[in-house]
Amino acid sequence: MNINAIILEIRAGVGGEEASLFAADLAQMYTKYGARRGWLTSVINSSRSDLGGFKEIVMEIKGAGVYDALKHESGVHRIQRIPKTEKSGRIHTSTASVAILPIPEVSDIEIKPSDIEISFTRSGGPGGQNVNKVETAVRIVHKPTGIIVLAQEERSQQKNREQAMKILRAKLAEIKNLEHQTQTALMRREQIGTQERSEKIRTYNFLQDRVTDHRIKKSFHNIERILEGNLDPIVNAFSKNN
């Protein structure tokens, strides 16, 4: 599929602050990998944890081959390591979920004005005085599906509205795709299911310096390099596996 723009969503799962820090590690990994590939990455919405991790971060990534390279990243990622905040040296297991949503053409997904409810609030993110005084954050509710989208990183209300609509189209396109595959309108709206589900797609084990993808039953070493954006070995393994 020749899609050159995606929405990347990362959400902290099981593990409290450590899960949020892991979500931030994943966000950095994809951002740095995108920079290596010459892709353009922009943050649409994010929610920070107390220790500087991400409870949630939503990004748009544009560039040649981005969907084909990252489509296998969707699912629950698990990390096993001793957190910096852990004084007794215990290994913690935490999770974060990743969703990769291809951005459809505007003409592919029709959204009726009567089906959406748009509200504006003050942004809670960084951005100086403008963010706090002006209602630039945009929240869209798609009434037929119950999907809620928030965009607040841009300084203008119009740009945030455009970003929110882009995410909504991507989510509706994913529902359409899932319904087509399963022939049911009751398919869950999120691409990656619940964050607590047992079928983790990948484990990052720091003590063994090993990243294992459970779907292709293959391990990769040098976790630090991988988290610094050296994703090519994993991406290439999937392309050979197809």
Amino acid residing at 85: T
| Strand pairing report for 5-12 and 147-151 | unpaired
pTM for the structure as a whole: 0.77
Q: Residue 186 pLDDT > 80, yes or no?
A: no
The pLDDT of residue 21 is: 94
Q: CATH topology of 5-104+192-241 equal to that of 106-182?
A: no
Length of the chain (residues): 242
In 3D, which of 58, 67, 54 has the Cα closest to residue 19? 54
The pLDDT of residue 48 is: 92
Instruction: Please tell us whether the domain made up of 5-104+192-241 is placed in CATH 3.30.420.40.
Output: no
The pLDDT of residue 95 is: 95
Q: Looking at the structure, give the CATH architecture of the domain made up of residues 106-182.
A: 2-Layer Sandwich (3.30)
Tens digits of residue pLDDT in 14-62: 888 999 999 999 999 999 999 999 999 999 999 999 888 999 999 999 9
The pLDDT of residue 197 is: 45
The pLDDT of residue 150 is: 92
Q: Is 95 left (phi over 0), alpha (psi -120 to 50) or beta?
A: beta
As a three-state string, the secondary structure of 12-78 is ECCCHHHHHHHHHHHHHHHHHHHHHHCCEEEEEEEEECCCCCEEEEEEEEECCCHHHHHHHHCEEEE
The pLDDT of residue 103 is: 86
Whole-angstrom distance, CA of residue 29 vs CA of residue 215: 20
Q: Residue 238 pLDDT > 60, yes or no?
A: yes
The pLDDT of residue 189 is: 47
Confidence of residue 209 (pLDDT cuts 50, 70, 90): very high
In 3D, which of 133, 138, 132 has the Cα closest to residue 120? 138
221 is written with which tokens?
Answer: 């070493």
Whole-angstrom distance, CA of residue 138 vs CA of residue 157: 7
Q: How many helices (H) and strands (E) does the chain have?
A: 6, 11
Confidence of residue 174 (pLDDT cuts 50, 70, 90): confident
The pLDDT of residue 83 is: 81
Q: Residue 182 pLDDT > 80, yes or no?
A: no
Q: How far is CA 114 from its chain centroid?
A: 28
Sign of the four-CA dihedral 176, 178, 182, 188:
negative
Tens digits of residue pLDDT in 64-94: 999 999 999 999 999 999 887 777 778 889 9
Q: Does 45 or 180 have the greater pLDDT score? A: 45
CA atoms within 13 A on the CB side of 181: 8
Tens digits of residue pLDDT in 122-165: 776 544 444 456 778 999 999 999 999 999 888 888 999 999 99
- Domain-by-domain residue ranges, the chain? 5-104+192-241, 106-182
